[in-house]
Amino acid sequence: MASIPQGVYTRDHWPAVGGTAGGLRKRWWGGYEVELRADVIIIGSGAGGGVMAAELAEGGLDVLVLEEGGYHGTEEFTADGAAMARKLYRDGGLTFALGTPPVMFSEGRCVGGSTTINGGMSWRTPDMILERWRREDGISDATPDKMARYFERVESFISARLNDPETLGRDNELLKQGADKKGWRIIQNIRNTVHCAGSNNCAFGCPTGAKQSTLVSYLPRALRFGARVYADCRVDKLLLDERENRARGVSGRVIESNGQPSHRFVAHAPVVVVCCGSVQTPALLARSGLKSPSGQLGHNLALHPNAKLVALFDEDVEAYKGAHQFYQVREFQEQGIGVLTAINVPPGIIAMSMPMYGERLGALMRDYQRMVIAGCLIEDSVTGRVRVTPGGKPVCTYQLARRDAQQAVRAMSLLSELMFTAGAKRIILPFEGVPELTSIDDVRWLRNQHIGRESMELLTVHMMGTARMGDDPRRHVCDPRGQLYGARGVYLADASVFPSPIGVNPMETVMTLATRSAEKLLRDHQSGRLLS
């Protein structure tokens, strides 16, 4: 069990949570609820919530962070994938956007949110995307120059940097060899690490503390400036002053270790910042009875669908040794294939996704050490939707566009070509019913095949855009400052505000937009408008 830092409260602290900060209030229909107060309530502690908490707390506001997941410190993170998935991921990491094909997605549910379980890629929003947001969505300061000061501040706190050369693993070395032989543009990855040790366990929590997730960067900073972080607290709904149509707080329940809700709480604040991610944010707003005047809340879900292949080499690769995604192939970025890369995936997860079973699967997996797992990121051209069930749960739907399906086939062809060039002997594709590739001739064959969408195995960790930001209340859900149209005091700060997919890993964009929104909130606070 992790030692809990001062200022972090878990289910074990209830109902006497936070000492004098909390109070017990008798409810008129029976029972008690804990009553909390703050200037600002932040829901979620990931890329958006962590940044908001630190910036606003340092700016002198009384900040309360409410996180549905538990607090797990660095010392708890191990390579036991199944145990970590149960601990750190929503629904054990097995959630799907329904459609053809269903797309598996993962969300972090722990203090630090998805920054605890991501690969730490720290890329600025591409210039062409900022330009699109400025031109089409009216975000007037979305220019590389004006955003630079926010990017630089974020990069400083999360230590965005290149990996140390000695942490280059053999899988990424092979990726580089293949790309160099093909003459494709390959770049070193920038990640939020203080000297990544190359343990390649990012997806299950960084066991060395090198990755600067908000768990070890922004949240300690927030605590340093007096913020309180309440783990195991699920917010059920936002509370609104209906006469003035503005935020007045939230209500929710503490979640016990068996998943059952226990203590009720109500927290009061004139400002509520929702940072629950592109799936949970629209669900929470909808559960609270909030609708955007544009009718676009929950629409425009983009996923950056990605597919992964397994390339088998004649040598031991030992892909778990080395930094996560040391390199990225960016040759095809302008063509909508944002990234080609090699990644480490533990045997259990690989075996899950292989289109075979029994002895055949066993025979393949015996070559685990000779595998390079390589994947792509596709900038999608269609969008999905998040709906809410009568019970308040989000349901995602996403129909892969034919063009994007073709892009997935093309990306897998390109990656196969690269891997054969690097010396791979066999390649197993994420397309059911498509035979293994054994030579570069097979890649040419693959390019001419029609692969049905239903046979594709796709997944994502990049959900974006269900509450998009912009200057037009008829098209957008929140204004360029992140404030929800139609409800004063409700701000959004996560990937749901992206007006479009960005084609690169989204963490730094989320953090930067959150920093920018925090600045605007603090300016309002300075002039006395924020809390009045």
Partner 1 sequence: MATLSDFSMPQVMRRALLALCPIALPEERIDAEDLAETMVDNAELFLRSLAPAGRAAIVVGTIGFEMAAALRPSSLGRTFSRLPREQARAYFDSWWHSKNPALHNFAKGVKSMLAMTYYELPSVRQELRYHPDAWINKVARERLARFSDEIAAHAERLAAPAPLLDAVGDDDHASVGASASASDERRHNHG
- Tell which positions 84-103 bind partner 1, by CB under 8 A: 85-86, 89, 91-92, 94-95
Q: Does 529 bind partner 1 (CB under 8 A)?
A: no
User: Is 463 within 8 Å of 277 (Cβ atoms)?
Assistant: yes
User: Is 41 within 8 Å of 267 (Cβ atoms)?
Assistant: yes
Q: Give 328-391 as a DSSP string.
A: EE-TTGGGTEEEEEEE---HHHHHHHSS--HHHHHHHHTTGGGEEEEEEEE--SS-BEEEE-TT
Residue 296, both tokens: 């676009």
Of the candidate residues 25, 27, 181, 393, the single one contacting partner 1 (CB under 8 A): 393
User: Is 305 within 8 Å of 406 (Cβ atoms)?
Assistant: no
Q: How far is the CB of 389 from partner 1 (least distance, A)?
A: 9
Of the candidate residues 28, 243, 359, 528, the single one contacting partner 1 (CB under 8 A): 359
Q: Does 241 bind partner 1 (CB under 8 A)?
A: no
Q: Give the C-alpha separation, 60 to 57, whole Å.
A: 5
Q: How far is the CB of 331 from partner 1 (least distance, A)?
A: 12
Residues 6+ apart with CB under 8 A from 375: 306, 307, 308, 309, 340, 341, 342, 343, 415
Q: How far is the CB of 473 from partner 1 (least distance, A)?
A: 26
| Segment contacting partner 1 by CB under 8 A, of 266-274, 293-301, 352-360, 465-473 | 352-360
Q: Does 220 bind partner 1 (CB under 8 A)?
A: yes
In the complex with partner 1, which residue's Cβ is closer, 179 or 267? 179
CA dist list (Å): 58 to 52, 244, 390, 496, 522: 10, 29, 40, 25, 10
| Per-position x/- string for 299-328, each x denoting binding to partner 1 as judged by CB under 8 A, each - no binding | ---------------------xx-------
Report phi then psi at 211, rounded to 5.
Answer: -70, 130
| Segment contacting partner 1 by CB under 8 A, of 263-271, 294-302, 473-481, 518-526 | 518-526
In the complex with partner 1, which residue's Cβ is closer, 146 or 447? 146
Of the candidate residues 27, 135, 195, 444, the single one contacting partner 1 (CB under 8 A): 195
Of the candidate residues 12, 131, 136, 152, the single one contacting partner 1 (CB under 8 A): 152
Q: Does 44 bind partner 1 (CB under 8 A)?
A: no
Q: Does 239 bind partner 1 (CB under 8 A)?
A: no
List the interface residues with partner 1, window 197-216 (CB under 8 A): 197-201, 207-208, 210, 212
> 433 by DSSP, 3-state: which?
coil
The answer to whether the bond into 305 is cis (omega within 30° of 0) is: no
In the complex with partner 1, which residue's Cβ is closer, 187 or 266? 187
User: Is 301 within 8 Å of 385 (Cβ atoms)?
Assistant: yes
Of the candidate residues 1, 24, 148, 440, the single one contacting partner 1 (CB under 8 A): 148
Q: How far is the CB of 347 from partner 1 (least distance, A)?
A: 4
Of the candidate residues 55, 68, 232, 417, the single one contacting partner 1 (CB under 8 A): 55
Q: Does 455 bind partner 1 (CB under 8 A)?
A: no
User: Is 370 within 8 Å of 425 (Cβ atoms)?
Assistant: no
User: Is 372 within 8 Å of 341 (Cβ atoms)?
Assistant: no
Helices (H) and strands (E) in the chain, counts: 12, 24
Q: Facing residues of 4 across strands?
A: none
The reply to whether 462 belongs to the active site is: yes
Identify the active-site residue in 72, 299, 462, 476: 462
Of the candidate residues 53, 190, 374, 376, the single one contacting partner 1 (CB under 8 A): 190
In the complex with partner 1, which residue's Cβ is closer, 233 or 487? 233
Of the candidate residues 19, 30, 165, 357, the single one contacting partner 1 (CB under 8 A): 357
The answer to whether the bond into 15 is cis (omega within 30° of 0) is: yes
Q: How far is the CB of 479 from partner 1 (least distance, A)?
A: 19
Of the candidate residues 12, 127, 441, 471, the single one contacting partner 1 (CB under 8 A): 127
Element (H, E) at 234: strand 233-241
In the complex with partner 1, which residue's Cβ is closer, 368 or 420? 368
List the interface residues with partner 1, window 154-183 (CB under 8 A): 155-157, 159-162, 167
| Segment contacting partner 1 by CB under 8 A, of 377-385, 418-426, 434-442, 514-522 | 514-522
Greatest alpha-carbon span in the chain: 75
List the interface residues with partner 1, window 394-453 (CB under 8 A): none
Element (H, E) at 414: helix 402-421
User: Is 67 within 8 Å of 52 (Cβ atoms)?
Assistant: no
Q: Which residues are catalytic?
A: 462
